[in-house]
Structure 1
Amino acid sequence: MPGDSGSPLRKLAQRLGVAIALVTFVALSAYLDRGGYSDSDGNGLSLLDSFYYATVTVTTTGYGDIAPQSESARLITTLLVTPARVLFLIVLVGTTLELLAERTRYAYRLSRWRSDLSAHTVVCGFGSKGRAAVHELLARDVPREKIVIIEQDTDARARAAAQGFAVVAGDATRTEVLCEAGVQDAVAVIVAPDRDDAAVLITLTVRELNPTAALAAAVREEENAHLLRQGGADTVITSSGAAGRLLGAATRQPDVVRVLEDLLVSGEGLELIERDVPRDGMSAAEAADGAPIVAIVRDGTPHRFDDPEVATLNAGDRIVCLCSHGD
């Protein structure tokens, strides 16, 4: 969740450090004036006895087997040990109350955040693929506050939070984690984990929770792509296969690969964009407003620009055309 700062464990460690310092202070105070204390067994006060006395004293246990006898020891108890005991209790009670209050504040902030969260995009995984996907979303004017990252890795979560994204810690294959990210209200979900088996399970769970969201998933191996499509992914990207095809093409047609790389980067150079066809009977050239046409999508099925089946367009068709950035 955005806006979280500080670690409960760090705060607890700081309070524990204060408590240990108080016990050590009382133990050393008693040990330095050890002749003024009496032990029930009649022996002198050792360093271990001093720490034992400090522990039972500041925690108000007070077994009474070690007690101050001299005036100096009683003065130390009055002026030093008693304030240390009070401060120890303040630390103990304050830590308990703060932890309870922090949980309440977190639950309240989470509730407020979730109530305002809708029509957002959930990105499952903030590795190299997830970061590239988020960069592309930002380049296509998706507001930063409309992107929610789900990530298990602590370092990756820290990078995402540092960039101002809402971050949910946990395994995206788990239903409760996806629900915490509001996947049921998301307009789009990007599945980009490091493992193909995780991608399949995330896809199945997301589609069960949200049947209508645009769902794009990435896999490493081509043989697993059909599992994602069967699981409900609208678009499946094979990362290793796509990279391999570009590498192969680069050895024979490097200029083509450069153009493809240009197309893959939003916000500069050439861009592929989609346009709606507003009415029946329009030609592709008319709907594209003079831009080169790459494909025509009818009823969710892409057709080549020269396919005779889509020579005449219908309202609701979409054309994919090539434009320069800013057109």
Structure 2
Amino acid sequence: MSAFIRFLIAFFLLLMVIAVGTAGYTLIEHWPVSDSLYMTFITVTTVGFGEVHPLSEQGRHFTIILIVFSIATVGYSVTILFTYIFEGIILKAMREYRMKRSIKRMKDHYIICGCGDVGREVALEFKRTRVRFLIIDREPEKSELARDESILFVKGDAVDDEVLLEANIEQAKGLVSALPEDEANLFVVLTARQLNPRLTIVSQAEEQRTIRKLLKAGANRVISPSQIAGRRLASIILRPSVVNFLDVMVDGPSDSMRMEEVAVETGSPLVNKNLREAGIGRHTGAVIVGINGPDGKTKVNPSASSNLSTVPIRENDVLIAMGNEAQIQHLRNFVKHGR
């Protein structure tokens, strides 16, 4: 039972005691309602002002019963009231303190600016893939994600430098600007790029004319939700089997085949080996379908005389792999440790 429900129960119990006391004195002593109500209040609150009128024997018996019930009811109501008020305040303060402390310790995390429809979907995907992230929003309490205590929020305007610094942007790995206004996204991208030149920035854009401005401001990629939605609708109509296959690869359950990317970091034992020499498929069961280089170019089939298996793996390459969750995890360990 929630604290609010307990508060309502206590409130109605208190009203019931007052109503019963007033009705009892009115019926037993034949007093006016105002005198009965006054007598009930001084009895329930135990202030000891004395009787309004002399009580009959039945009235004294009724007063004894009323005092017993009122002490229990008032005691319960006061306890619930203080619990409802102070527990909410203390819990809120404690949660904010834990949130700020967790944010200060975050490194290589992702920042989502805006918790609208697009930002919410980004957050849910981040949570599903178990990456560290936080959300900046002006009114986080209005978001349905605010009920999830595992999600960190920074309350404020992402356009402000202080808010981005509070989100520990200098230690962040990436930022998604999902604000509804293109002008706000432009300011966020400009500010974020200045505060962290190494940051990977992805922004949404409502208008096509804003895309080029966002790229010049420092965004690595700019996404138009309406354009993507339109293309996907057309693809579902024209190529439903391909779309279904890609959905399974990207969003399928953990025991199904899916596509993931695995970074080749400095010191990996696979550096300067090609896929055939590394034996990735033999050791992990995962299938490498592409290699994305540091320049952003993806190698799939370099030429007619060679194939992907002969392409050497370089530092900071990203392997685009296909496999189930166990195979992908085995691949991550294999790329990092060679076993």
Q: Normalised by the shorter chain, which TM-score bucket?
A: 0.5 to 0.7
Instruction: Please state if 1:166 is matched with 2:151.
Output: yes
CA distance in 2, matches of 1:262, 1:32: 75
**Partner secondary structure for residue 66 of structure 1:** coil
Counting only pairs closer than 5 Å after superposition, residues 200-215 of structure 1 correspond to structure 2 as 200=185, 203=188, 207=192, 211=196, 214-215=200-201
Counterpart for residue 126 of structure 2? 137
Deviation of 1:271 (Å): 1.7
Counting only pairs closer than 5 Å after superposition, residues 298-317 of structure 1 correspond to structure 2 as 298=295, 302-305=296-299, 316-317=315-316
Post-superposition Cα deviations, 1:52-91, rounded to whole Å, max 9, x if no partner, equal 4434543456777934433332333234236515742563
Which is richer in strand? 1
Q: What residue identity is the alignment partner of 2:70?
A: A
Aligned length: 300
**Partner secondary structure for residue 33 of structure 1:** helix
TM-score in terms of structure 2 length: 0.61
Q: Unaligned regions of 5+ residues in structure 1, if any?
A: 36-43
Q: Unaligned regions of 5+ residues in structure 2, if any?
A: 281-287, 304-309, 329-339
Deviation of 1:318 (Å): 2.0
In structure 2, which of residues 12, 19, 30 is the aligned counterpart of residue 17 of structure 1?
A: 12
C-alpha contact 1:123 1:148 (8 A) present in aligned 2: yes
Identical counterparts, % of pairs: 17
Counterpart for residue 257 of structure 2? 269
Q: 1:318 to 1:214 in 2, by over 3 A?
A: same
Post-superposition Cα deviations, 1:192-232, rounded to whole Å, max 9, x if no partner, equal 46x34597289469939973665444444444445655666
Counterpart for residue 90 of structure 2? 104
Q: What residue identity is the alignment partner of 1:318?
A: D
Counting only pairs closer than 5 Å after superposition, residues 31-50 of structure 1 correspond to structure 2 as 31-35=26-30, 44-46=31-33, 48-50=34-36
C-alpha contact 2:154 2:167 (8 A) present in aligned 1: no
RMSD value, Cα: 5.1
Q: What residue identity is the alignment partner of 1:321?
A: I
CA distance in 1, matches of 2:184, 2:231: 22
Counting only pairs closer than 5 Å after superposition, residues 2-151 of structure 1 correspond to structure 2 as 6-7=2-3, 9-35=4-30, 44-46=31-33, 48-55=34-41, 57-59=43-45, 66-81=52-67, 84=70, 87-88=73-74, 91-92=77-78, 95-96=81-82, 99-108=85-94, 110-112=96-98, 114-116=100-102, 118-119=106-107, 121=110, 123=112, 129-130=118-119, 132-134=121-123, 136-137=125-126, 140=129, 142=130, 146=132
TM-score in terms of structure 1 length: 0.62
